[in-house]
């Protein structure tokens, strides 16, 4: 009996020492980590050092190479099926080798159904160890304080860019690390079609519509509509946020307070009017075309433009390889050619389950996931869909053409985060309302008014008085 206590105590000390002083040391070492020594922390050595740690109460757990702790463990991870997993899988393979952590991936559907699964699994205490979910206002809906591990005090969390930190924090506490690079809502276009018709990248919305008109007259599908996947219907509106903010810098704050409305703010109403203006140019089967169909159409030149998140590039790359470099990108044009910029989304976060028995391994995995080593492995398997949100990490040389196009906006500072990172309120039916608009049931102005109305529900739920 006594011996058992002693062991327990020894184990505890080991854990505490690791948590207390282990981390900064590891960070120093990490830069020097060599990749060749991969097999350094094999299962055999780990077992030996593990028992010795428990018996002698020493803090040296696992002699993992590159300063990483090696201790075998298995974590479960829940991800939505729309996300490209190649990068994640590469990091997981590396984590198994270096950290001894095996990650079992469970998939869920994307969109509202997927959010429902996450909420239900959290509420019923059935969440996996790691969970991938949106950052920004949707994270706030999960009450992360109740369910997720607080990472605010982890020393490695300082590597995260502040914009992401804000997006993955609720009430000043950080809960997530970036799952991937940032993305943008933009117009992806097939450059071969542009060359064929000698079109120029449009600087204003009117020029964009003219390009579409030319394409339509020549029998091309000017715009790809993939509204069979409902969330894609809202990208033209959401991705227009830079143009709203350029004219009305206080719009997001006003909207949250209930003083500004989409229907009554000219610049914001314009986003919905533009959505309505796109209607004549879509492919015939746009209500039945899904996200994957959209990727196929753009890569094969069956459509010239697609207003979508830049995450589609990774999907296209996975499916069609180098074809992805035929695709360029530009921000959704506004009415002012001089002030047009990109609306960006912070990546989804990876969150750790607070009630998991593997809290230690979760943190080890997270620290590893945002290390240079892991990011390199990630971008070898899957190129980023936009700039990274980790300090000091640059875009790789062979980034997708469209991502390089995006980088130009970053370089000139013409970037803003999407509405959901600036305002807590996002209407639940945003996708459906936009779908209603593009299917010609309501006008842009009606859609704007309907969206304002829809947001009331969220405001009420959050206890924000809008009366």
Partner 1 sequence: MNKKKLYSAWFLVPTLLVFGTLFLLPMATSFFFSLTVWNLRDFTFVGLENFKMFLKEGSLNIGIRNTLVYALCGCSMKLVLAFFIAVFLNSGIRSKHLLRAVVFFPNLVSTVAVGITFKALMHPSKGLFNRVLELMGLARVDWLGNPDLALFSVVGTDVWKGVGVATVIYIAGMQAIDKTYYEAAAIDGATGAQRLLYLTLPLCRPAMHSVMILAFIGGLRSFDLIWSMTGGGPGFATDVLASVIYKQYAEGFYGLSTAGNVIMLGLIMLLAFPLQKFLLSREAD
* Contact (Cβ atoms closer than 8 angstroms) between residue 437 and residue 444: yes
Select the span of 107-115, 180-188, 199-207, 240-248 touching partner 1 (CB under 8 A): 107-115
CB 317 within 8 A of CB 229: no
Q: Which stretch binds partner 1 (CB under 8 A): 179-187, 205-213, 299-307, 457-465?
A: 457-465
Task: Provide, rounded to whole angstroms, the least separation between the CB of residue 112 and partner 1.
Answer: 5
Among 44, 125, 392, 463, binds partner 1 (CB under 8 A): 463
CA gyration radius, the chain: 24
CB nearer partner 1, residue 7 or residue 457: 457
Using CB under 8 A, which residues numbered 222 to 281 contact partner 1? 227, 230
- 3-state SS, one letter per residue, for 98-149: HCCEEEEEEEECCHHHHHHHHHHHHHCCCCCCEEEECCCHHHHCCCHHHHEC
Locus of tokens 């463990």: 73
CA 160, CA 146: separation in Å to the nearest integer? 23
Q: Which residue has the tokens 């097939």?
A: 190
Residues 280-309 that bind partner 1 (CB under 8 A): 284-288
Which region among 13-21, 315-323, 341-349, 433-441 touches partner 1 (by CB under 8 A)? Answer: 433-441
- 369 burial level (CB within 10 Å; 0-12, 13-18, 19+): buried
Three-point CA angle 179, 181, 183, nearest 5°: 115
Burial profile 233-257: b = 16 or more Cβ within 10 angstroms, e = fewer: bbbbbbbbbbbbbbbbeebbebbbe
Q: Which residue lies nearer to partner 1 by CB, 264 or 461?
A: 461
Q: Is 354 in the site for partner 1 (CB under 8 A)?
A: no
Q: Alpha-carbon torsion 447, 455, 147, 363, what sign?
A: positive
CB closer to partner 1, 155 vs 440: 440
- C-beta closer to partner 1: residue 226 or 416: 226
Using CB under 8 A, pick the residue from 10, 277, 428, 445 that binds partner 1.
428
Answer yes or no whether residue 435 interacts with partner 1 by CB under 8 A. Answer: yes
- For residue 108, state whether it binds partner 1 (rule: CB under 8 A): no
Listed ranges 110-118, 169-177, 367-375, 402-410: which one lies at the site for partner 1 (CB under 8 A) = 110-118
Of the residues 269, 437, 448, 455, which one makes contact with partner 1 according to CB under 8 A? 437
Binding site for partner 1 (CB under 8 A): 112-113, 115-116, 119, 123, 141, 143, 146, 227, 230, 284-288, 428-429, 432-433, 435-437, 439-442, 450, 453-454, 456-458, 460-461, 463
């Amino acid at each position: 009996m006594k011996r058992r206590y002693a062991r327990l105590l020894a184990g505890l000390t080991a854990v505490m020492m690791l948590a207390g002083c282990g981390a900064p040391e590891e960070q120093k070492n990490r830069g020097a980590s060599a990749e060749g020594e991969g097999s350094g922390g094999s299962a055999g050595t780990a077992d030996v050092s593990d028992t010795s740690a428990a018996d002698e109460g020493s803090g040296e757990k696992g002699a993992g190479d590159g300063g990483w702790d090696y201790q075998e463990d298995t974590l479960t991870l829940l991800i939505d099926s729309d996300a490209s997993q190649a990068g994640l899988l590469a990091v997981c393979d590396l984590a198994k080798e270096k950290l001894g952590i095996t990650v079992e991936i469970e998939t869920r559907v994307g969109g509202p159904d997927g959010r429902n699964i996450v909420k239900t699994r959290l509420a019923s205490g059935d969440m996996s160890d790691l969970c991938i979910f949106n950052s920004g206002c949707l994270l706030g809906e999960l009450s992360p304080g109740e369910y997720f591990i607080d990472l605010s005090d982890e020393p490695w969390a300082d590597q995260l860019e502040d914009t992401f930190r804000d997006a993955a924090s609720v009430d000043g506490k950080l809960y997530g690390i970036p799952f991937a690079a940032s993305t943008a809502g933009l117009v992806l276009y097939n450059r071969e079609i542009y060359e064929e018709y000698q079109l120029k990248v449009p600087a204003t919305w009117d020029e964009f519509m003219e390009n579409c008109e030319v394409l339509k007259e020549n029998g091309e599908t000017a715009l790809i509509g993939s509204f069979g996947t409902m969330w894609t219907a809202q990208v033209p509106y959401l991705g227009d946020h830079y143009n709203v903010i350029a004219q009305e810098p206080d719009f997001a704050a006003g909207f949250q307070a209930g003083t500004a409305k989409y229907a009554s703010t000219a610049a914001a109403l314009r986003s919905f009017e533009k959505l309505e203006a796109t209607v004549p140019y879509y492919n015939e089967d746009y209500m039945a075309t899904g996200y994957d169909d959209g990727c196929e159409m753009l890569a094969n030149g069956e459509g010239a433009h697609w207003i979508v998140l830049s995450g589609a590039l990774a999907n296209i790359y996975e499916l069609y390889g180098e074809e992805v470099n035929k695709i360029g990108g530009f921000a959704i044009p506004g009415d002012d050619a001089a002030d047009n910029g990109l609306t960006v989304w912070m990546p989804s976060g990876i969150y750790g389950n607070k009630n998991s028995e593997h809290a230690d391994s979760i943190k080890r995995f997270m620290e590893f996931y945002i290390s240079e080593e892991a990011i390199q492995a990630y971008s070898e398997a899957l190129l980023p869909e936009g700039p990274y949100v980790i300090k000091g990490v640059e875009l790789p040389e062979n980034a997708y053409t469209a991502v390089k196009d995006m980088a130009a906006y970053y370089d000139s500072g013409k970037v803003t985060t999407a509405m959901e990172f600036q305002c807590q309120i996002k209407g639940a039916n945003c996708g459906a309302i936009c779908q209603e608009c593009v299917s010609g049931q309501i006008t842009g102005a009606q859609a704007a008014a309907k969206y304002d109305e829809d947001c009331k529900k969220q405001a009420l739920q959050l206890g924000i008085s809008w009366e």
